Amino acid sequence: MKTMQIVGYKSSGKTTLTTRLIELLSARSVRVASLKHHGHGGVPLGLEETDSEKHRQAGALIAGVEGAGVLQLSNHHAWRMEQMVAIYKLLHIEVLMMEGFKTYDYDKIVLIRDNEDLHLLEQLTHIKAVITPLNLNQSSYPFPIFKREEIEAFNNWFISFLKL
């Protein structure tokens, strides 16, 4: 399974790009999936007071509830990225698009909004491409830099990078 992270600060266009790349892969019949971090804190999805919450409190390491195509798994501990990635592999996913989780060491596309975001290019690992409105000097960076409007060039790079 191949993985690609789409990272950047809030309102940098992560969801728009991730959605577009999922569409691109899906149109090529690639088995694509996504994973996103819910950053708002607390139990995110209406799970409190449900029966599966009773199971969790009774000591279930994983309390799951399934319905209408959704499987919600409450972990007694925090989810580890390796566990989540292993689940996607198990489901025979070919490309996992991860939106966010920027401190992890998977291949990354970084969205840079302005000069204040540039430090990400120093801090993050495994950067494989950057999309930005800034006029960065390509020769200063070991990864390709795209403008937002260079959609076709970026898509071509992406498909080629994934060897699809």
What is the layout of strands, in order, in the sheet containing 95-99?
Answer: 95-99, 2-8, 108-111, 127-131, 145-146
CB of 13 to a copy of itself, least distance (A): 12
Q: Which residues bind a copy of itself (CB under 8 A)?
A: 15, 18-20, 22-23, 25-27, 31-47, 51-52, 54-55, 58-79, 83-84, 86-88, 90-91, 93, 97, 99
CB of 100 to a copy of itself, least distance (A): 9
Q: For a copy of itself, give the closer residue by CB, 23 or 105.
A: 23
Q: For a copy of itself, give the closer residue by CB, 88 or 158.
A: 88
Q: Which residues contact 29 (CB under 8 A, 6 or more apart)?
A: none
CB of 118 to a copy of itself, least distance (A): 25
Q: Which residues pair with 3 in a beta bridge?
A: 96
Closest CA to 164 of 32, 67, 69: 32
CB of 115 to a copy of itself, least distance (A): 27
Q: Which long-range contacts (CB under 8 A, 24 or more apart) does 38-46 make?
A: 39/100, 45/72
Q: For a copy of itself, give the closer residue by CB, 61 or 140.
A: 61
CB 30 within 8 A of CB 164: yes
> Hey, is 63 helix, strand or coil?
strand
CB of 142 to a copy of itself, least distance (A): 29
Q: For a copy of itself, give the closer residue by CB, 62 or 136.
A: 62
